[in-house]
Structure 1
């Protein structure tokens, strides 16, 4: 495109001749005037035409200038992107050159602005960090000041607390001192009023303290014994041994209970001796080891023990005489009873002639009483032999399932006769044990017999066998009259029956359970009972399956 200067030259060269010609013609035609006015009119017309042509030709320039002005305003407002397409919108080389210069200037300004923003941001961050450091420093300073104030306050409070503690300690010391005085007085009174003799010695055996019971027991005053050796109160024949024992005790002092060790004797001021029991309590203090001895005069107890010992010996002799007498009487009774039983059996068999019903009933009653008396004599003999340890047990490996079944079969007639139900509970695998078959069967029969006696018609008896941890247990349970709790221990003693069962008209002797107890003891076992009046009883016999392992 043409530059601005060329445009002006062309306009001028074109318009001047045209204007002169037109002006001349018009002046001749419209203005027949003199030459002076003709040139004035021509000049005015020329100005109007030139101005119009300039306005027409300079319009793109003005538009470009306006775009440049707008772009400059945008740059001033910081909108550097607004001049990106300015070079294409303006007309003329000069305008495009100016637009390119503006673009370059905008880019430079934009770079300057970006750098300034980075510097401002960096500086702002530095200022922010410095401000934060200042804030932290201020806070740290404030914290130090607060800590100092707090420590000062704590120090003041600590001083106040110490003062209060000191006052409290002073008060406690005062109260404690008074309590110690009272406690010492109580200890002194308690020590002196103790029912046992109390005496304290130091590690050398010197007496340092004693109570009034020692004075009464040994007939010495406290002033006489203070500072004396403890051997003063020991019989002369025990002096050397006592010094040795005392030295050993001081090397390893430990509590010794009353009555522990050998028989001891004390010696009174008048030389008489008496038996004593002594308990020792070592006391470890800052001054050394002291020993507090509690001494009891056991003269009366020794005398009572002698009397009891003599009475036991007399009772033992009497018991031996009783056992001998019972054994003799039982043996003497068995012979005539055997003859009487044989005679009654012969009469019942009709050997001596026919027997009518009334006679048979009388003979059966007699036979039953003879059998009962024979069992009583047998039980008495068993008891005396067992008590004296003269009954030998024939131990063998026995099938307990078969033993229980045999016992139940033996009592089957009595159970059916009374209208009772018998239930046996036995393990599927038979249990074996080393025991005396006849004696163990005797125990089971006795328990079954008692259950039958004390269970009313229609009742139920259960016998069971089981093993737990190598211990065998046979139980006989009934739903009979039961036993009072106070009777449950004494029914296993000789000639004792429970009061509840005693009023039951059974004719028992109170020997059977005592014999059972002794037989079980020979098997290293025991017999127990659990019962409530009116709710039946459960008798249990327990013994080890392997007697050799339990020995």
Structure 2
């Protein structure tokens, strides 16, 4: 009986010594308190972090390491943890602060672990100084804010500069006596507007990584309607957009908008000669990882022998080049009217031409 008791105490002492060594050489400050909140064990990292010698900490209330302004509520939280002990981080959702021997405060991250002992449940707390982490985070947030402000200014300035170019083209067109020249300048103005609109939407939405393609095409259609007011109510420009938003990055939104600009412009110019009335439709849909964009009209259709490869119109010559930038496929159909269909991957591809 006596021998068995001696063996049991020896084993317990050996385990206690091992535990103390683990705590002592832990890389973060470790503090153990009893149910009353008194400190019963600390390690070397605790001395270094708080600036107290070990002898000044043992037997003292844990609140001596808490800023004075927070000690009252800390007692409440400590008692709540002892009543229902479980391993967890301390103060989730709250900023935690500790207090050094010199009275200075610093932000901390604390993990709590209940330990069963013969004296009852004790709490082992690991304390990590997160001052440098917060400083780095604040620096990163500041850099991100500066980048956001810079991007906002860039898109605003680009939009304004493109609007100036558009205005200059419009001014030049009003002073041109040649109808053909006025038409060329008007088409160039629409192209500039299509590009400016992408920067306008980025500036308005404060999202500089992507554009809602449906919203972009809807706004672009309104601009084109304004450019061809002489058609009166004869020509209707209808938009069929999905309920779900489909986003494009700026590099793909611009060629996509230019394609629609060229195809709708072509329809306004050639699909309804004389006083003929009709409808132009812009259709947007997505399926199987691809976006399909269709521009169709119910006008006179293509002339006999029409071949896309042989067109002399600058606008239609631009379309295949823009399709290549999107990494897409382009198809032309007829009957009745003209139908242009573009399909391209909904996600950007590294193989897309820049």
TM-score between both structures, scaled by the size of structure 2: 0.57
For this pair of structures, how many residues does the alignment match?
259
Q: Can you list the C-alpha shifts for 1:435-483, whole angstroms capped at 9, x where unaligned?
A: xxxxxxxxxxxx9996465569xx6669xxxxxxxxxxxx9745xxx89
Contact 1:330 1:381 in 2 (8 A): no
1:376 equivalenced with 2:195 (yes/no): yes
Match of 2:83 among 248, 251, 261: 251
Structural mapping, 1:394-413, within 5 Å: 403-404=282-283, 408-410=294-296
> In the superposition, relative to structure 1, how do residues 499 and 400 fare at CA in structure 2: closer, same or farther (>3 Å)?
closer
Aligned match of 2:351: 500
Indicate the structure whose relative CO is greater, using CA pairs within 8 Å and at least 6 residues apart.
2
What is the distance in 2 between the residues matched to 1:367 and 1:407?
Answer: 24
What is the distance in 2 between the residues matched to 1:448 and 1:254?
Answer: 66
What is the distance in 2 between the residues matched to 1:409 and 1:226?
Answer: 80
- Counting helix residues as a fraction of each chain, which structure ranks higher? 1
> In the superposition, relative to structure 1, how do residues 375 and 204 fare at CA in structure 2: closer, same or farther (>3 Å)?
same
Aligned match of 1:26: none
> In the superposition, relative to structure 1, how do residues 270 and 408 fare at CA in structure 2: closer, same or farther (>3 Å)?
closer
Structural mapping, 1:282-301, within 5 Å: 282-301=114-133
> In the superposition, relative to structure 1, how do residues 289 and 261 fare at CA in structure 2: closer, same or farther (>3 Å)?
farther
Q: SS of the counterpart of 2:88?
A: coil
What is the distance in 1 between the residues matched to 2:178 and 2:20?
Answer: 91
Match of 1:346 among 169, 172, 178: 178
> In the superposition, relative to structure 1, how do residues 252 and 397 fare at CA in structure 2: closer, same or farther (>3 Å)?
farther
Q: 1:218 Cα deviation (Å)?
A: 0.7
Aligned match of 1:417: 308
What is the distance in 2 between the residues matched to 1:307 and 1:400?
Answer: 41
* 5+ residue gaps, structure 2: 220-237, 244-280, 285-291, 311-318, 333-340
What is the distance in 1 between the residues matched to 2:15 and 2:296?
Answer: 78
Contact 2:67 2:98 in 1 (8 A): yes
Aligned match of 1:279: 111
Structural mapping, 1:123-272, within 5 Å: 184-257=16-89, 260-272=92-104
CA RMSD in angstroms, aligned pairs only: 4.8
> In the superposition, relative to structure 1, how do residues 193 and 222 fare at CA in structure 2: closer, same or farther (>3 Å)?
same
Aligned match of 1:335: 167
- Greater radius of gyration (CA): 1
- Counting strand residues as a fraction of each chain, which structure ranks higher? 2
Q: Can you list the C-alpha shifts for 1:279-331, whole angstroms capped at 9, x where unaligned?
A: 21223444322111111111112222333343344344434433443343233
What is the distance in 1 between the residues matched to 2:36 and 2:83?
Answer: 12
> In the superposition, relative to structure 1, how do residues 382 and 450 fare at CA in structure 2: closer, same or farther (>3 Å)?
same
What is the distance in 1 between the residues matched to 2:330 and 2:152?
Answer: 42
Q: SS of the counterpart of 2:351?
A: helix
* 5+ residue gaps, structure 1: 1-169, 352-362, 420-446, 463-474, 492-497, 503-507, 509-551
Contact 2:109 2:127 in 1 (8 A): yes
Match of 1:307 among 118, 132, 139: 139
